[in-house]
């Protein structure tokens, strides 16, 4: 298959798909953007013409049955991810599914089960996973640098208050991209709980929790969560206390109200404590540091902008997996599944006021 092109379909073609994924994939000579699906005939034709898709439809089932497709990118609203990813996997297509992979634990487990059963690639585009210093952190942890994990702190904050409160969007403040985009995000997919499935948890904590589970291999067991939504219908703030299988515990926090001053400033800060030492990982201040009880210390020298978010790595990784050019999935569905399971329990806990089992 390495000598042929990947024939790629898109289920969902809004802001992020047309601003990030499609331009990156169009630039590869081993990818053909074959079929695209989205609602709105006018917008659909605009996407088809701009990116050279062979086929366009408003029907997801029609897209996955289009001849010769190899893989599908799912970039529809959060609460449609499961339906669309399942359609593609059942058809035997590899899937790159936007985060959150879905919004319900049983759905997430089903997608991973299907992908494993059919030996298909399932990748979730967590862009930070592709930074060299994040991959070095993964290597340290896989090599047992801090021993058995006993406690994890995982914090994230973002400049998306207006998006979660009112659906207002400034591309350069939220994503660091210029504002001359094909589409702006549909406000309902961010600030309407019925369509978004939740607020900051699904929209952003899916990033940091996906990273936590990928780095550590931890499996969430139970969670007690408090959430608040001042001036919004979806959560702006999240505070989670978590117990993991094996006895480790952790705290996970999120805030959607970083002031959007200058370039987008995302806080992603993980501190992972184990029997042998401590790993500190910070994207905002670009830090990777290891401290062990035996006196060993390591620290990467990083440029100030080394942790700035970008999402070119995941589409390339996905295509390389489909072509057989690599067997390493840097942002696998398994880690995304654990994130979904955690957040599902967290939203239930915030509503019930009780500890909820994952």
In this predicted model, what pLDDT tens digit does every residue of 293-312 receive, in sequence order? 999 999 999 999 999 999 99
Residues 6 or more apart in contact with residue 357 via CB below 8 angstroms: 221, 222, 345
- Full 3-state SS string of 150-209: EEEEEEEECECHHHHHHCCCCHHHHCCCCCCCCCCCCCHHHHCHHHHCCCHHHHHHHHHH
Q: On the CB side of 98, how many CA atoms lie within 13 Å of its CA? A: 24
Two tokens, residue 123 = 């990748």
Query: What share of the chain in percent tops pLDDT 70?
Result: 95
pLDDT in tens, 306-347: 999 999 999 999 999 999 999 999 999 999 999 999 999 999
Query: Which tens digits make up the pLDDT trace of 216-258?
Result: 999 999 999 999 999 999 999 999 999 999 999 999 999 999 9
Whether residue 2 is predicted with pLDDT greater than 50 in this model: the reply is: no
Residues 6+ away with beta carbon under 8 Å from 142: none
Predicted confidence (pLDDT) at residue 1 exceeds the cutoff of 80: no
pLDDT band at 262 (very low <50, low <70, confident <90, very high): low
The per-residue pLDDT for range 167-186, each reduced to its tens digit, is: 877 655 555 554 568 988 88
Mean pLDDT of the 68-74 span: 97
Q: What percent of the chain has pLDDT over 90?
A: 89
On the question of pLDDT at 112 being above 80, the answer is yes
Per-residue pLDDT, 170: 65
Characterize 112-131 residue by residue with b for buried, 16 or more Cβ atoms within 10 angstroms of its Cβ, and e for exposed: bebbeeeebbbbbbbbbbbb
Predicted TM-score (pTM) of the model is 0.95
- Mean of per-residue pLDDT scores for the chain: 95
pLDDT reported for residue 152: 98
- The confidence score (pLDDT) of residue 137 equals 98
Beta bridge mates, 31? 6
Confidence of residue 3 (pLDDT cuts 50, 70, 90): low
What span, in angstroms and rounded, lies between the C-alpha atoms of 161 and 3? 46
Structural domains present in the chain = 6-127+314-326 (3.40.50.720), 128-310+338-357 (3.30.360.10)
């Amino acid at each position: 298959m390495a000598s042929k092109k990947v024939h790629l379909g898109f289920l969902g073609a809004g802001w992020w798909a047309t601003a990030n994924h499609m331009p990156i994939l169009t630039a590869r000579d081993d990818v053909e953007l074959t079929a695209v699906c989205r609602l709105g005939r006018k917008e659909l034709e605009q996407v088809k013409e701009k990116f050279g898709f062979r086929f366009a439809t408003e029907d997801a089932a029609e897209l996955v049955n289009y001849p010769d497709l190899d893989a599908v990118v799912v970039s529809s609203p959060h609460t449609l991810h499961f339906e669309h990813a399942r359609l593609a996997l059942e058809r035997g297509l590899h899937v790159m599914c936007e985060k959150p992979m879905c919004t319900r634990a049983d759905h997430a487990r089903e997608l991973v089960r299907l992908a494993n059963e059919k030996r298909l690639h399932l990748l979730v585009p967590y862009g930070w996973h592709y930074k060299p210093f994040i991959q070095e952190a993964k290597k340290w942890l896989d090599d047992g640098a801090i021993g058995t994990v006993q406690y994890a702190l995982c914090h994230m904050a973002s400049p998306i208050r207006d998006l979660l409160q009112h659906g207002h969007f400034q591309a350069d403040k939220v994503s660091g991209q210029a504002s001359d985009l094909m589409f702006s995000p549909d406000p309902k997919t961010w600030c309407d709980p019925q369509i978004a499935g939740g607020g900051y948890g699904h929209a952003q904590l899916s990033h940091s929790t996906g990273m936590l589970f990928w780095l550590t291999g931890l499996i969430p067991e139970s969670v007690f969560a408090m959430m608040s939504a001042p001036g919004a219908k979806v959560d702006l703030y999240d505070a989670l206390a978590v117990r993991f299988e094996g006895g480790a515990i952790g705290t996970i926090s999120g805030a959607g109200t970083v002031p959007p001053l200058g370039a987008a400033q995302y806080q992603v800060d993980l501190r992972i404590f184990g029997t042998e030492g401590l790993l500190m990982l910070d994207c905002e201040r670009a830090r990777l540091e290891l401290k062990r009880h035996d006196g060993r210390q390591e620290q990467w020298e990083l440029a100030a902008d080394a942790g700035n978010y970008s999402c070119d790595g995941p589409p390339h990784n996905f295509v390389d997996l489909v072509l057989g050019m690599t067997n390493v999935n840097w942002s696998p569905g398994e880690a995304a599944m654990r994130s979904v399971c955690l957040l599902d329990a967290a939203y239930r806990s915030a509503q019930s006021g009780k500890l909820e089992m994952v």
